[in-house]
Amino acid sequence: MTRLPDGYRTIEIGEDRQEEFRAVDRLAFAWPPDPEVDAQVPFTVPFDRAMAVEGPGSRLAAVHGSYPFTLPVPGGVVPCAGLTWVGVRPDERRRGLLTSMIATHVERSLARREPVSALFAAEQGIYGRFGYGCAADAVRLTLPRRAALRPVPGSEALTVELATADADLHEDLVDRLHVAAGAERPGWVVRSTPALRRRILVDPPQWRAGGEPMQLATVRAPGGEPRGFALLRRTSRWTEAGPEFPVDVLAAVALDAPATHRLWSFLLDLDLTSSVSTPKLALDDPLLSLLVDQRPGRPRLEDNLWVRLLDLPTALAGRRYLAPLDTVLEVTDALVPANAGRWRLRSHSVDEQGTWALAVERTDQDAQLRVDVRELGAAYLGGRSLAGLVAAGLVEERTPGAGVPAAAAFGWPVAPLCSWTF
């Protein structure tokens, strides 16, 4: 499964081959080469995690990298390898290079003691075969200007300040609010390196598609303390009917309900604008509850974070559970044999919030549920229900009804989301 074609080998990429690494992804994703953009946008893959497949003549045929993330999971965090920059040259496709790179990624992540890997998929059909499950769904809306919100006490006391986004000036504020806003949300990966923290605010003119430079809207408490922010771009568009500027909200986070209300009240009523596109939102995002009428926004569902359990017992023991559980899983895993087989999941202690810790041990007992590691990845953040996966025929109940208590335990009150694509 992991054999490379003759004459190909896996190599680490150092800084000296950064341009070749970038060139493979440029070709894979059809990005126009632009030295001016490259000069502004920091290269984000840490060099001890940048890998390639080198073909004949030392040409790079495929690349991938990973970020050292701490993944928020229900009731805790686990180390996570964020798979990224996956690209195979179009003339090297379908020869097993990605398959080989995934094997390398799994091996190296496990050696770094990262029990979980996560990614954003360019296409949904790619990663399931490698044991990644879609663990979070997101929704986007395109709202009409002045879409009404239900009132929230305290919103009116807050102010909003607008400034052109500037990495030097705003990096700390944006990062601090982003970290704090998602502290309780599974999947809310934060930007773990200086390059990633900077990149969110980098805005080369070539990326603006005719729009204005990226703007930062900051919500402030009466004392000036920041309570939320949005990154947005308006595009000037005049029609016979007058101005119809679209507003593209690239990110929006807030620390509490009044700040959320104030932020969206501002975004939804900018002069000259006609529509407001939201960034990806969690399925329980407060905006969805605040909107008087969601329907004109035509909510669209999309896959968000994909999760792969690399070290199953460590990963499962690394989160908390919403109900007590004592069950045996028969797990299949075509890629990581150490995960396959029967595991007993037994809750053993409950904390003051009523969430349970789980012991995960090998067992010879009969299994109640048969599940592939892909489906466990999908259920891991509490986003996809094991009962739903039973209903879909993707998880098998060996004991009738066994999916229900497992689904109750794996569920979580806060829907998972990663707010930015990596």
Ligand X SMILES: CC(C)(COP(=O)(O)OP(=O)(O)OC[C@H]1O[C@@H](n2cnc3c(N)ncnc32)[C@H](O)[C@@H]1OP(=O)(O)O)[C@@H](O)C(=O)NCCC(=O)NCCS
Specify the stretch interacting with ligand X by CB under 6 A; choose among 95-103, 223-231, 318-326, 376-384: 95-103
CB of 51 to ligand X, least distance (A): 13
Q: Taking a C-beta distance cutoff of 8 angstroms, is the pair 365, 342 a contact?
A: yes
CB of 168 to ligand X, least distance (A): 31
Q: Which of 86, 149, 231, 312 binds ligand X (CB under 6 A)?
A: 86
Q: Taking a C-beta distance cutoff of 8 angstroms, is the pair 140, 299 a contact?
A: yes
Q: Which is nearer to ligand X, 145 or 280 (CB)?
A: 280
Alpha-carbon distance 253 to 100, whole Å?
A: 38
Alpha-carbon distance 316 to 353, whole Å?
A: 19
Q: Which is nearer to ligand X, 27 or 270 (CB)?
A: 27
CB of 122 to ligand X, least distance (A): 3
Count each helix (H run) and each strand (E run) in the chain, helices first: 11, 23
CB of 25 to ligand X, least distance (A): 8
Q: Which of 75, 96, 258, 377 binds ligand X (CB under 6 A)?
A: 96
Q: Which is nearer to ligand X, 74 or 128 (CB)?
A: 128
Q: Tell me the Ramachandran region of residue 272: left when phi exceeds 0, alpha when psi lies from -120 to 50, beta otherwise.
A: left
CB of 279 to ligand X, least distance (A): 19
The pair of structure tokens assigned to 150 is 């239900």
DSSP structural state of residue 339: G
**Residue type for 417, please?**
L
Specify the stretch interacting with ligand X by CB under 6 A; choose among 83-91, 210-218, 380-388, 410-418: 83-91
The pair of structure tokens assigned to 285 is 């995002």
Alpha-carbon distance 267 to 252, whole Å?
A: 10
Backbone phi, then psi, for 128, in 5-degree steps? -55, -40
CB of 212 to ligand X, least distance (A): 30
Q: Which is nearer to ligand X, 310 or 369 (CB)?
A: 310
CB of 4 to ligand X, least distance (A): 10
Within 123-182, the residues that bind ligand X by CB under 6 A are: 123, 125-126, 129
Q: Taking a C-beta distance cutoff of 8 angstroms, is the pair 137, 388 a contact?
A: no
Distances (CA, A) of 311 to 79, 109, 379: 11, 10, 15
* 3-state secondary structure (DSSP) of residue 378: helix
Q: Which of 9, 12, 15, 122 binds ligand X (CB under 6 A)?
A: 122
97 binds ligand X (CB under 6 A): yes
- Burial call 25-44: b when 16+ CB within 10 Å, e when fewer: bbbbeeeeeeeeeeebbebb
29 binds ligand X (CB under 6 A): yes
Percent of the chain that is helix, strand, coil (3-state, to 5): 30, 30, 40
Within 99-118, the residues that bind ligand X by CB under 6 A are: 99
Q: Which is nearer to ligand X, 41 or 53 (CB)?
A: 53
For residue 251, give the nearest of 308, 207, 200 by alpha carbon: 200
Q: Which is nearer to ligand X, 74 or 96 (CB)?
A: 96
Report the residue count for the chain: 422
Within 9-28, the residues that bind ligand X by CB under 6 A are: 28
* 3-state secondary structure (DSSP) of residue 161: strand
Q: Which of 95, 208, 237, 346 binds ligand X (CB under 6 A)?
A: 95
Alpha-carbon distance 117 to 132, whole Å?
A: 8
* Paired residues of 284 in beta bridges: none
94 binds ligand X (CB under 6 A): yes
CB of 2 to ligand X, least distance (A): 10
CB of 303 to ligand X, least distance (A): 11
CB of 157 to ligand X, least distance (A): 44
Alpha-carbon distance 80 to 105, whole Å?
A: 12
CB of 53 to ligand X, least distance (A): 9
Q: Which is nearer to ligand X, 245 or 422 (CB)?
A: 422
Q: Taking a C-beta distance cutoff of 8 angstroms, is the pair 249, 267 a contact?
A: yes
The residue count for binding ligand X (CB under 6 A) is: 18
**Residue type for 265, please?**
S
Q: Which is nearer to ligand X, 128 or 382 (CB)?
A: 128
Q: Which is nearer to ligand X, 130 or 380 (CB)?
A: 130
The pair of structure tokens assigned to 195 is 């390059």
Specify the stretch interacting with ligand X by CB under 6 A; choose among 14-22, 89-97, 178-186, 198-206: 89-97
88 binds ligand X (CB under 6 A): yes
The pair of structure tokens assigned to 277 is 């596109």
Specify the stretch interacting with ligand X by CB under 6 A; choose among 90-98, 254-262, 320-328, 391-399: 90-98
In the complex, the residues that contact ligand X under the rule CB under 6 A are 28-29, 86-88, 93-99, 121-123, 125-126, 129
